[in-house]
Amino acid sequence: MKRNDKFPGFPKQTVTFLRQLRKNNNKAWFDEHRGDYDQYFVTPAKAFVEAVGKKLPRLSPRLVAQPRINGSIYRINRDIRFSKDKTPYKDHLDFLFWEEDKKSSPSALFLRVSPDGLFLGAGAYACPDLLKKLRPAITHSIFGPELAGIAKKLRRSGHEILGKHYKRFPRDFPQDGPAAEFLLHNSLYVVAEEPLELAYSPEVVDQAIARWKKMLPLHEWLMNHG
């Protein structure tokens, strides 16, 4: 695909490769199908990031899109050092778009292509230290109601706010504020599922931007207070 061409959508072979990898998650099979990995995983992933990167400024001029593995494209290898699951590869294709520094950004936009569907989201995932840092803002007389209002609007539009983890409220923070429910979170993010067929369509880029636009208030709140 030429750089100036519109992204045509992910080839169906991308999901076929991931589905087969799910059934044959071992190094021997992967090495045998490395050509498919390069052609149907890496190549369309880079093209997608390039296409999305041109339109992210509509959401925020600070959003970063890096069309490379370990940039906006997650590596397919799993980190199995501390996991009971020793399967070496992920059976999905993940993307991340962040502001400022990738490792320290309080929030990011993300997308996953999987045999199970197409998933888009925004927010802070698995960031317990960040959520502890956010507790003063969650209980603030102005910033707390702002977060509660964002959550209410997202829920009205059919989104679910995810990340609840703790059963007990932390000490020294009021439990009766409009956003107090989020004191029980160790992540704070929203995810929407789209039909997998969208991944195969040239519309996937514009639809991703449109979906992220609805999620942007949560992302911005986290960026402002994280």
Task: Tell me the mean pLDDT in the region 19-48.
Answer: 98
Three-point CA angle 69, 71, 186, nearest 5°: 115
Task: Tell me the mean pLDDT in the region 41-51.
Answer: 98
Burial class (CB in 10 A: 0-12, 13-18, 19+), 42: middle
CA distance 125 to 112: 14
pLDDT tens-digit readout, 63-119? 999 999 999 999 999 988 878 888 999 999 999 999 988 888 999 999 999 999 999
CATH of domain 12-225: 3.30.930
pLDDT tens-digit readout, 118-137? 999 999 988 888 989 999 99
CA distance 98 to 118: 19
Q: What is the pTM of this model?
A: 0.93
pLDDT tens-digit readout, 141-183? 999 999 999 999 999 998 989 999 999 999 999 999 999 999 9
Q: In the prediction, which pLDDT does 225 show?
A: 95
CA distance 55 to 63: 10
CA distance 194 to 164: 23
CA distance 217 to 90: 30
CA distance 217 to 152: 11
Decide if pLDDT at 3 tops 80: no
